[in-house]
Chains A and B, each alone.
Chain A
Amino acid sequence: MEQDTRTTTDIRGSYELKQEEKRKKMQTFQRGRMMRRLALWTGILLLVVGGVYGMVKLVSSSKVPSAVLTETISVTDWVKGNRNSKVVLIEYSDFQCPACGAYYPIVKRVTEEFGDKIAFVYRHFPLQQHRNARIASYAAEAAGKQGKFFEMHDKIFESQAAWSESLSADEAFAKFAGELGLDLEQYKNDSNSSEVKARIDQSYQSGVRSSVNATPTFFLNGKQIQPRGYDDFKAIINNELTTRS
């Protein structure tokens, strides 16, 4: 009898022991699983946060202006405003570039507002992908020879959408020349002259030397600026005017 009881207690004891062991094993297993899940989700969180941070960093670092002006204002430049001003704004532009077209009214407003307080210089930087950009710059140069560079410049920008993809853009420009009251014979000769073409090349090359790789690129007293609209543009110029006076 005694022996029997002992045996039952033993059996019961060992059964409970096994249960306890099982529970412990289960606990360690579950703790391990929790740890693995935690590690997995921490890893994923880090990956996502790191990815977003990296991309934002990439975008903001590519926004740092990298162009440095090599040629300052000279007698060969087309200037609006006061040529001798201490504040010189230079634009490298392409008549067919939609972004330049979008900036045109802003620049016009800025130059009208500041008037003789600043000098505004327009330099040609016609891009390969724009079929009519060069012809447009020839037209502006030819008009410039008769003292109407900025008048032609305005007309060209104001009608950008109309001639951009046209196969007869030169006719549109000749029409503008007529509207501006230019001597058409001379205008035609000038717009086809090697002298005008050489001037465009020189302007383009000066842009290349200044590391210009996009249009429009603006330089204010030699430093590249990236104005975001009219208010920004005005603030940047005002700031320069105060520091220079």
Chain B
Amino acid sequence: MNSLHVPKWLFVSIALVSFVGFLDATYLTAQHYLGFELNCSVFNGCETVTTSEYSVVAGVPVALLGALYYFTLFIGMFVYFDLQDKRVLRVLMSLTLLGFLASLWFLYLQVFVIKALCFYCLVSATTSTLLFVFGMLALFRFRPIE
């Protein structure tokens, strides 16, 4: 790890947070395909978010897109670690902006359009925001050596 361009703590944090995000989005994807969750619960209100029309984009559940995004980041970090190619890091860290913007959009939908919050979606919003912060740190604060 001595020739890594980003500090060890940052590398570990990105890998860890993207894995948490991956688990969270995988859970939601499994819920989408396996769990026919059409009810209102005493504990978490109604399943209006994960069953709303906004939960699917062109036939693909957004949860699956999220899982792929976190998967790319998680695997990508190890590809970078393995190959020590700073271009990989630059592409990955630029991706976090996309993830962050997507999360802002979903948060807006939940608060202002669907008017219901979903716990696992908020977890995802948190992980993607963290990844964005880490990504910007990796890109600008700890600039990969040319």
Q: Which residues of A contact B (CB under 8 A)?
A: 37, 40-41, 44, 47-48, 51-52, 54-56, 58-60, 62-63, 94, 97-100, 102-103, 127-130, 213-217, 226, 228
Contacts and interface: CB of A to CB of B under 8 A. Distances in A.
Interface string B43-77: 10111100000000000000000000001001100
Contacts, number: 76
Contacts of A98: 40, 46, 48
A102 B38 contact: yes
Contacts of A217: 39
Interface residues on B, range: 20 to 34
B6 to A, nearest CB: 17
Contacts of B71: 48
A5 B75 CA distance: 59
29 contacts: A40-B81, A40-B82, A41-B78, A41-B82, A44-B74, A51-B19, A52-B26, A55-B26, A55-B27, A55-B30, A56-B26, A56-B34, A60-B30, A60-B34, A63-B34, A94-B40, A99-B38, A99-B39, A99-B47, A102-B38, A103-B38, A128-B42, A129-B46, A130-B40, A213-B41, A213-B43, A216-B39, A217-B39, A228-B36
Contacts of B19: 47, 51
Interface of B: 19, 22-23, 26-27, 30-31, 34-36, 38-43, 45-48, 71, 74-75, 78, 81-82
B78 A129 contact: no
A54 to B, nearest CB: 8
A94 B40 CA distance: 9
B41 A226 contact: no
A217 B38 CA distance: 10
A11 B131 CA distance: 59
A55 B23 contact: yes
Contact of A44 (B27, B39, B41, B75): B75
A100 B48 CA distance: 12
A97 B46 contact: yes
B57 to A, nearest CB: 21
Q: Which 4 A-B pairs have the closest CB atoms?
A: A97-B40, A214-B41, A59-B30, A214-B39
A51 B75 CA distance: 14
Contacts of A37: 82
Given A40-B82, A129-B45, A214 B27 contact: no
Given A37-B82, A52-B26, A103-B38, A59 B45 contact: no
